[in-house]
Amino acid sequence: MTEAKQYTCIGCPIGCPLHLEHDGNTIKEVSGYECDRGAKYAHQEFIDPRRSLSTTVAISGAMWPRLPIRTCKPIHKDQVLEAVRKIQALKLQAPVKMGQVLIRDFMGEKGIDVVACRTMKRADESS
């Protein structure tokens, strides 16, 4: 049985409304896009939608009480909320360096690390 899904392309500000028809896991047809990027995006969203995740974690002894962090690659869209909850459990201590890996192979996915987005010195070090 053919079913349909609607997406909005994020490729550019036009935001084409995309219409994807599928039968189970098989894509039948994509329409509504004005350029190839739209078709590609609809495929990606249907097969394996992913989002980059950035948030903050508590850090003590630094200039600010929060450290910005992100996953180095996008994670499964459905796992975003669970991922944030896992990350929230982290409690860090300054100093931390930009790019420092805080969690390796996050959410059981090889090669997806949680990294620090900036350096935070200890508050008494940074003049």
Partner 1 sequence: MLGRVEKKYGVVVVGGGPAGLGAALGARDYGEDKVLILDREPEAGGILLQCIHSGFGLHYFKEELTGPEYAQRFIEKVIDHDVDILPASYVSRIAADSDGIKKVRIINEKRGILTVEAQAVVLAMGCRERTRGAVRIPGTRPSGILTAGLAQKFVNLMGYLPGKKIAILGSGDIGLIMARRLSLEGCEVVGVFELMPYSNGLSRNVVQCLNDFNIPLHLSNTVAAIHGRDRVEKITVAPVGKDLKPDLARAWDVPCDTLLISIGLIPENELTQNLGISLDVATGGPRVSSTLETSMPGVFACGNVLHVHDLVDFVTNESLLAGRFAAELSRGVRRPGDNIQLLPGENVRYCVPHTLNPGHKHTVYLRCKAPMKPCKIRVGNLIEKKLRFVFPAEMIMLKLKPDLLDKFHGDSLRIDILPLAKEERND
Residues that bind partner 1 (CB under 8 A): 7-10, 12-15, 51-52, 54-56, 58, 63-66, 68, 70, 77, 80-81, 84, 98, 117-119, 126-127
Quote the DSSP letter at residue 122: B
The first and second tokens of residue 7, run together, are 């997406």
Amino acid at 45: E
DSSP-based three-state secondary structure for 16 = coil
Shortest distance (Å) from residue 23 CB to ligand SF4 = 23
Q: Is 3 exposed, middle or buried (0-12, 13-18, 19+ CB in 10 A)?
A: exposed
User: Cis omega before residue 95 (within 30°)?
Assistant: yes
79 binds, among partner 1, ligand SF4, none (CB under 5 to 8 A by kind): none
Residues in the chain: 127
Shortest distance (Å) from residue 88 CB to partner 1 = 9
Residue 15 or 65: which CB sits closer to ligand SF4?
15
Shortest distance (Å) from residue 49 CB to partner 1 = 9
Residue 98 or 101: which CB sits closer to partner 1?
98
